[in-house]
Amino acid sequence: MTITSSNRRRVRDAGPSGWLAAPALAFFLVFAVVPLAGVVFLSFTSWDGLREIRLEGLASWTTVLTDPVTGNALLVTAKIVFFSFIVQAPISLLLGVFTAGSQKYRAALAVLYFLPLLLSSAAVAIAFKALLDPNFGLGPGLQVPLLIQDWLGNSDLVLFVVVFVIAWQFVPFHTLIYQGGVRQIPTSLYEAAEIDGAGRVRQFLNITLPQLKYTIITSSTLMVVGSLAYFDLIFVLTGGGPGYSTRLLPLHMYLTGFKANDMGAASALGVILIVIGLGLALLLQRLGGKNRNDSQLEGA
Amino acid sequence: MTTRKLRSVAMAISAAALSVSLAACGSSGPAGSTSAGDGSASMWGLTGGNQPVLQKSVEAWNSAHSDQSIKLDFFANDAYKTKVRTAVGAGEGPTFIYGWGGGVLKSYVDAGQVEDLSAFIKENPEVKERYLPSVLKNGEIEGRTYALPNNNVQPVVLYYNREVFDKVGAQPPKTWDELMALVPKFKEAGVAPFSLGGQSKWPDLMWLEYLVERIGGPEVFANIAADKPNAWSDPAVTEALTKIQQLVDAGGFVNGFSSIAADSNADQALLYTGKAAMVLQGGWIYQGMKKDAGSFVTGGKLGFTTFPTVEGGKGDPANVVGNPSNFWSISAKATDEQKKAALNYVKDGMFTDADTDALIASGAVPVVNGIESKLEASPDKDFLTFVYGLAKKAPSFTLSWDQALSPAQGDAMLSNLDQIFLKKITPEQFVSTMNATIGK
């Protein structure tokens, strides 16, 4: 049957009213578009936070793009995003699948796993800073030679310590996402597989993993975009140091803006951060394929 | 078609209206907060040694002047420095702006954010007369007074642990060579020669300040602060940086110094627990150690001395660096009522006998005249008279460089100095990077 143009109009008009989008649009405009425009504007100015804002053209951009610290911050950010992902993704996937079972001991373990979720980043950072202290921390306290390291003061080691602490804090969150994802998988699939004689590993690879595709994309997007914006934890734990070894882009932006009081350059860094974040998020969504936003529930 | 168009126009209008009303909500915040608190003046202080003294002073003022009350909040040092500037720039700063003088104060003055107090101290000569003149000078910019000293004189002192020194059989170093010779001695004994809060970066600066002072004299930094071209190229700076790196190479600083934050007082703890033999720190940490490690201080285990001389150096060995005092500036954006309360507090509520006594009892030397007899009577007499004498006899008292310079220069300096301590850059690279920041 062919649809005439008047029919099509009627079909479309029968949908929800466009008015329903107004509040969301307004919020988006006020809390995303307007500040973003402000940041882009500030990146073409010079402002120390106190005096008048002066238009300076591309001066801030030139400063930022020629500063080796910016390049280093990008590299540190890339490393943290990469290592956070390869550490967190497999652990939280396996833990999520494990805790999705119904046995009592799993529920008890799950509660323990999820405890770090309740703590604020600042508290986590302060606690780890105390534990890792080379003079008063866990290592010297227990007299375990392996633990007596300058964990946070060694430029080669500190990045991995940061990745570890981030993982400790955020693996529970992603485990929760995966747990939810696994519980959505219809049990009939596993029953059928069992009848066909598929073992546990086989079931995991052929049913669980493919069924979790969209959960993996969601979790990965949150992981990657989230690690791009890590700030509070690293700010308290290392302050970006020693030297510039954990000074990632958001921290570099903050220190440029609020320590060196160069709001123009800090805004330029902010724009770079937004562009990278959007790019990565789009890329990950692309990986999900065309129907990524469709519902996966049967019949929907 | 027309209805669709109308709808989208209406949607845009409603969105705009909503955004305007939300924006209005947002902007009513600051206005609301300044009018809140029944017009009382606000004050932001620092946590640490002087916190209880200031707290008591303001409480006493509030109970006697309920109509001119002051609302007091405390912040940690590093956090405060960031917060206050942002708040002042946004017009939401406190009535009393806590500061150090120098380039940071100048940036407030240039932006018209702080009150000119020249007329006030002229009308109230007793305010001016109560201060040590050399300290008062640090609140002046181009001959006008914008900030008044509010606590104690804080030169940087070389502290040492007498117990550890006795165990090793060492004497406090009088020259740089002696200092370097002590390093292997303490390392052999399993004690770190020097504690250092390197993560905070500003404790690193004390080394550079004193070394440049001893090698080249106060003129070297005076030229830098005056924005003279290539002022960092003075050979004294390069020599000082080289000496710092030699000390790092020799293992002079405690294991993990670059991850120790001074705000948590971990650097002092290393000294009084005997894990480190010495620490170069401000006069203010005496108060902290007295509180945290009373028996160490009262038991006479804490030693203190001046920074060693450097052979062939031009600087007078009596010169000191550090903070002459902290200061109150009064926000130009405060209401008349708040300003009046603030000025009255500065005149009558600050440095009352009770305040001065409390400062001395806490282990600090107030920046006021005629307290010699009080210092003599204090149980902390040794330290207090040492500090008072140090500050009084010093031919030159150089303000901490990060405060003396503009914030942009100060931040670049601390970051690059951190790189020097970590041996990521050479003294020559430091000099050329810093020369590029002159005038910023």
pLDDT, one tens digit per residue, over B23-53 is: 333 333 333 333 334 568 999 999 888 999 9
Of B364, B362, B356, the C-alpha closest to B322 is B364
**Distance of alpha carbon A237 from alpha carbon A226, whole angstroms:** 17
Residue of B nearest to A237 (CA): B259
- Is residue B147 a contact partner of residue B328, using CB atoms and an 8 Å limit? yes
Cβ-contact B344, B41 below 8 angstroms: no
Nearest residue on chain A to B433, judged by CA atoms?
A: A67
Comparing alpha-carbon positions, the chain A residue that sits nearest to B195 is A135
- Residue B111 and residue A22: Cβ atoms within 8 Å? no
Considering only the beta carbons, identify the residue of A30, A242, A261 that sits closest to B85.
Answer: A261
A interface test, pick of B108, B259, B271, B425 with most A CB neighbours within 10 Å: B259
| Whole-number Å distance between alpha carbons of B117 and B327 | 12
Nearest CB among B7, B110, B419 relative to A51 is that of B110
Most B CBs within 10 A among A20, A31, A261, A263, hence the mutation to make, goes to A261
Q: What is the pLDDT along chain B (440 residues), one digit of tens a residue?
A: 444 444 444 444 444 444 433 333 333 333 333 333 456 899 999 988 899 999 999 999 999 998 899 999 999 888 898 899 889 988 889 999 999 998 889 999 999 999 999 999 999 999 999 998 888 888 999 999 999 999 999 999 999 999 999 999 999 999 999 999 999 999 999 999 999 999 999 999 999 999 999 999 999 999 999 999 999 999 999 999 999 999 999 999 998 899 998 888 889 999 999 999 999 999 999 998 998 998 999 899 999 999 999 999 999 999 999 999 999 999 999 999 999 999 999 999 999 999 999 999 999 999 998 888 999 999 999 999 999 999 888 899 999 999 999 888 999 999 999 999 999 999 999 999 999 999 88
Q: Write out the two tokens for B152.
A: 């104690």
Q: What's the N-to-C CA distance of chain B in angstroms?
A: 59
Query: Over the stretch B132-175, which tens digit does the pLDDT of each residue have?
Result: 888 888 899 999 999 999 999 999 999 999 999 999 999 999 99
Q: Is B23 on the interface with A (CB under 8 A)?
A: yes
B107 interfacial to chain A (CB closer than 8 Å): yes
- The confidence score (pLDDT) of residue B294 equals 83
**Angstrom distance (rounded) from CA B348 to CA B327:** 16
Nearest to A258 among B86, B254, B275 (CB): B86
Nearest to A26 among B18, B260, B275 (CB): B18
Question: Quick check: B275 and A135 CB within 8 A?
Answer: yes
Q: pLDDT, tens digit, for every residue of A161-188?
A: 999 999 999 999 999 999 999 999 999 9
Q: Which of A18, A49, A153 sits opposite B256 (nearest CB)?
A: A153
Q: Which of A19, A134, A150 sits opposite B11 (nearest CB)?
A: A19
Residues of chain B in contact with residue A132, where contact means CB-CB under 8 angstroms, are 259
CA gap B288, B2 in Å, rounded: 75
Q: If we measure between CA atoms, which residue out of B400, B422, B22, B413 comes closest to residue A243?
A: B422
Helix (H) or strand (E) holding B321: strand B320-323
Taking CA atoms, what residue in B is nearest to A35? Answer: B23
Helix axes B427-435 and B235-249, enclosed angle (nearest 10): 140
**What chain A residue is nearest to B92 in terms of C-alpha separation?**
A50
Q: Crossing angle for the helix pair A263-287 and A68-99, nearest 10 degrees? A: 40
Identify all chain B residues contacting A159, using CB atoms and an 8 Å cutoff: none
What is the CB-side half-sphere exposure of residue A278 using CA atoms within 13 A? 7
Residue A281 has which token pair? Answer: 């998020």
Read off the pLDDT of residues A76-99 as tens digits, 9 standing for 90 and up. Answer: 999 999 999 999 999 999 999 998
What is the pTM (predicted TM-score) of this model?
0.84
**ipTM of the shown complex:** 0.81
Task: Please classify residue B39 by burial: count the beta carbons closer than 10 Å to its beta carbon, then call 0-12 exposed, 13-18 middle and 19+ buried.
Answer: middle
**Cα distance between residue B280 and residue B210, in whole Å:** 10
Comparing CA positions, the residue from A260, A23, A254 lying closest to residue B107 is A260
d(CA B295, CA B207): 28
Within 13 Å of residue A181, how many CA atoms lie on the same side as its CB?
Answer: 26
Torsion from C-alpha of A96, A165, A265, B75, nearest 10 degrees: 120
Question: Is some CB atom of chain B closer than 8 A to the CB atom of A269?
Answer: no
Helix (H, G, I), strand (E, B) or coil at B327: strand
